[in-house]
Chains A and B, each alone.
Chain A
């Protein structure tokens, strides 16, 4: 593409150059910290219950523990969410659905695996019908416990926020 600007002539792809400039700018310190700060406080987990840990996940969104104060608002539609919370065991049938949900979510997206089952199968480690989340999804934070207490869920959210604000998880590439 060729552009003429007040007599001088620029040669190159303007759109590509603009995108490159934007990515450069967004990855530069002041804007980057602002961006990561914004992402860290708008973590919306998709409403996707996979097993019994959901009972404690529900309790952590309720008045006593109130994870909403971290900007953590369980939401219905996967296309408007950026956190996938694997609440416990993933059965083979559910794993398929988990991948679909993950693929529908917009970038940047994060995965948290909750419970001993989310780590390595937990009490069901030798069951014929389970899948370990780390085999099918990129998991960022694990929460140990069976079931983890709501405080542990809050701790995991804080850990995820810290990771994001350190700039480890989100990068924009051209």
Chain B
């Protein structure tokens, strides 16, 4: 290297202290990043291609795997697209239960993102607290669905299980715990001078750029664009619920974290409303309920656990195209299904928020300092398996 060549190329990853599975190719001049290109594809597992050989119900667990911390969004968006093709509308109680799980999932997905961000900027306390406070919510979801992260709770026509007994009280206890806990986070982490110094004014995304680059989710709202699919194209029980779209004006790393924190508070509000307003009634579409054999149907009514009717194994979906979108924890999830009337889709396209946000790595780090890379990386809540699919 001659003296004239000031720029140095540094390869960061794929084994690096942050949450891994991607490589960052950085060109640096002293302490300044000239260019940073993410090298993705380390977790590409061909979900879209595999969907073409799996049956419709088998695809539900498959589409959940790419974003393990936020499975409900993918599950819901996929099932909504299938339902559009089938032409069925789930009963109102199922809609509320879907919303309930989606919001529980949103909270623990945000905690996951904040915890990883904390460890990236060197605050192990944030990691420990966020991951610890994630557990009560996972316990709730586990009681409702039977799994810690991979719920597969939402099926075409409804949901798999009814509310367990005494669930409302448990939810209320967790929500109260979270509300009392939030001030501690501000004392120890968010208002900590070190956190402020590392996050404020770092990686600023202006409103115009955010719209131009097609950014989505909390990263978009942190730049002052009030766009949320739950409001823009309401689905499930959201039209009947009262909640705000959270925005921040600053557009820096700190604003992105703050949007997540305030969304947690908003989700608590939604969960309370869901449990207050939830209507009685069936949790699976009548058409499918009728197909359950009579002796099993009695058991379903007693336990609230759906025994799948045989038709689900070989579910055939009429030919056609459908698109469904959902606001997940990280942003907008879109599913596009093309069916030719066979047992598997002809083509399934999934658009995930992480892939749409990956462009920010290049955009936000230009001219930043090397030490700001993890602060920016973490604030995007980027989940590589979701982007690579």
Contact = CB atoms under 8 A, between A and B. Distances in A.
Contacts of B16: 47, 76
A140 B65 CA distance: 25
Contacts of A93: 41-42, 44
Interface in B25-71: 41-46, 49-50, 53, 61-62, 65-69
Contacts of B49: 127-128
B133 to A, nearest CB: 9
Contacts of A97: 14-15, 42
Given A51-B21, A54-B20, A62-B132, A94 B42 contact: yes
20 contacts: A47-B15, A47-B17, A52-B385, A53-B68, A54-B20, A58-B112, A58-B131, A59-B134, A63-B132, A76-B17, A89-B43, A97-B14, A97-B15, A100-B15, A123-B61, A123-B65, A126-B53, A127-B45, A129-B44, A129-B46
A91 B116 CA distance: 23
Interface in A98-140: 100-101, 123-124, 126-130
A100 B13 CA distance: 12
Given A63-B131, A63-B135, A91-B388, 12 more contacts: A48-B14, A48-B15, A49-B20, A50-B42, A53-B68, A54-B21, A58-B116, A62-B131, A62-B134, A78-B15, A100-B15, A126-B50
Contacts of A127: 45-46, 49-50
Contact of A47 (B20, B43, B50): B20
Contacts of A46: 15
Given A49-B20, A124-B50, A55 B149 contact: yes
B267 to A, nearest CB: 19
B134 to A, nearest CB: 7
Contacts, number: 109
B50 A54 contact: no
Nearest to A94: B42
Contact of B45 (A58, A78, A101, A124): A124
A28 interface: no
B21 A149 contact: no
Contacts of A100: 15
Interface in B135-176: 135, 138, 148-150
A91 B44 contact: yes
B19 interface: yes
Interface in A56-105: 56, 58-59, 61-64, 76, 78, 89, 91, 93-94, 97, 100-101
A53 B138 CA distance: 16
Interface string A136-166: 0000000000110100000000000000000
Most buried by B among A46, A55, A130, A147: A55
Interface of B: 14-17, 19-21, 41-46, 49-50, 53, 61-62, 65-69, 112, 115-116, 127-128, 131-132, 134-135, 138, 148-150, 385, 388
Contact of B112 (A55, A63, A101, A147): A55
B305 to A, nearest CB: 21
Contacts of A101: 15
B132 to A, nearest CB: 4
Contacts of A146: 65, 150
A130 B42 contact: no
B62 A91 contact: no
Contacts of A89: 43, 45
A147 B150 contact: yes
A94 B148 contact: no
A83 B358 CA distance: 31
Contacts of B19: 49, 54, 58
Contacts of A63: 128, 131-132, 135
Contacts of A56: 68, 148-149
A130 to B, nearest CB: 6
Given A55-B69, A97-B42, A62 B127 contact: yes
B49 to A, nearest CB: 7
Given A49-B21, A126-B50, A147 B68 contact: yes
Contact of B46 (A47, A58, A128): A128
